[in-house]
Amino acid sequence: MPRKQKDGLYQRSGSPYWWASWIGADGERHRQSTKIRVDRAGAQQEADALLSKWKYEAHQQRVWGKPQEKQKHALKDVLDAYMAAKGYVQSFGRSRAAYIVRHVMEAFDGRMIEDIHPSEIRAYRRRRRESVGASTVNKETGLISAACNYCRNELDWDIPNPAHRQKEQEPRGRTRWAERSQIERLIAVADRNKRAPWIGDHIRLSVFTGLRAGDVSALTWDRVDMQRCLLRIPSRQNRKMKEDRIVPLNDEAMKAIRGRKAFRDRNCPESPWVFCNWKGERIKDMKRAFNTAIREAGIEDFRRHDARHTFASYLLNADVPMEVLSKAMGHSDINTTQRYAHLRPTAVQEAVNRLSAQNSHTGESNHD
**For the domain that residue 332 is a member of, what is the CATH number?**
1.10.443.10
Residue 70 pLDDT > 80, yes or no?
no
If one compares 91 and 349, the residue with the highest pLDDT of the two is 349
If one compares 362 and 44, the residue with the highest pLDDT of the two is 44
DSSP letter at 109 equals T
Please choose, from the candidates 162, 137, 129, 134, the residue with its C-alpha nearest in 3D space to the C-alpha of residue 147.
Answer: 162
Q: Are 210 and 328 within one domain? A: yes
Q: Is residue 165 part of a domain?
A: no
Q: What is the pLDDT of residue 368?
A: 45
> By mean pLDDT, which of 281-285, 308-312, 328-332 is the weakest?
328-332
Q: Is residue 211 part of a domain?
A: yes
Q: What is the pLDDT of residue 155?
A: 84
Q: Are 214 and 144 within one domain? A: no
> By mean pLDDT, which of 183-192, 219-228, 238-247, 286-295 is the weakest?
238-247
Those residues whose C-beta lies under 8 Å from the C-beta of residue 349, and which sit 6 or more positions away, are none
pLDDT-based confidence at residue 59 (cuts at 50, 70, 90): confident
Residue 29: helix, strand or coil by DSSP? strand
Rg (CA), the chain: 28
pLDDT-based confidence at residue 5 (cuts at 50, 70, 90): low
List pLDDT tens digits, range 85-114.
776 554 555 566 778 888 999 899 888 999
Q: How far is CA 348 from CA 76, 225, 281, 312, 361, in A?
A: 53, 39, 48, 17, 21
Mean pLDDT computed over 153-164:
90
Q: Is residue 193 part of a domain?
A: yes
pLDDT-based confidence at residue 54 (cuts at 50, 70, 90): confident
List pLDDT tens digits, range 246-258.
999 999 999 999 9
Q: Is residue 172 part of a domain?
A: no
Q: Are 329 and 218 within one domain? A: yes
Q: Are 137 and 237 within one domain? A: no
- Number of Cβ atoms within 10 Å of the Cβ of 92: 18
Instruction: Give the span between the Cα atoms of 168 and 171, in whole angstroms.
Output: 9
Q: Are 107 and 239 within one domain? A: no
Q: Are 189 and 129 within one domain? A: no
Q: Is residue 185 part of a domain?
A: yes
* CB-count burial class (<10 Å; 0-12, 13-18, 19+) for 39: exposed
Q: Are 209 and 298 within one domain? A: yes
Residue 224 pLDDT > 90, yes or no?
yes
Q: Are 225 and 123 within one domain? A: no
pLDDT-based confidence at residue 81 (cuts at 50, 70, 90): confident
Q: Are 84 and 32 within one domain? A: no
Q: Is residue 161 part of a domain?
A: no
**Identity at 233, one-letter amino acid code:** I
Count structural domains, the chain: 3
Mean pLDDT computed over 56-73:
78
pLDDT-based confidence at residue 354 (cuts at 50, 70, 90): low
Mean pLDDT computed over 259-278:
96
**Identity at 259, one-letter amino acid code:** G
Q: Among the ranges 163-172, 202-211, 326-335, 339-348, which has the highest mean pLDDT value?
A: 202-211
If one compares 336 and 115, the residue with the highest pLDDT of the two is 115
Q: Are 141 and 19 within one domain? A: no
Q: Is residue 357 part of a domain?
A: no
> By mean pLDDT, which of 116-125, 151-160, 237-246, 349-358 is the weakest?
349-358
Half-sphere exposure of 234 (CA within 13 A, CB side): 8
Q: Are 34 and 135 within one domain? A: no
Q: Are 151 and 269 within one domain? A: no
User: Left (φ > 0), alpha (ψ -120 to 50) or beta: where does 224 sit?
Assistant: beta
Its domain, for residue 258, covers 180-344
If one compares 360 and 273, the residue with the highest pLDDT of the two is 273
Residue 62 pLDDT > 90, yes or no?
no
Q: Among the ranges 59-63, 185-189, 308-312, which has the highest mean pLDDT value?
A: 185-189
Residue 21 pLDDT > 80, yes or no?
yes
Global pTM? 0.58
Residue 130 pLDDT > 70, yes or no?
yes
If one compares 56 and 201, the residue with the highest pLDDT of the two is 201
Q: What is the pLDDT of residue 366?
A: 46
- The residue count of the chain comes to 368
Average pLDDT over the chain, rounded to an integer? 84
Mean pLDDT computed over 70-80:
86
pLDDT-based confidence at residue 361 (cuts at 50, 70, 90): low
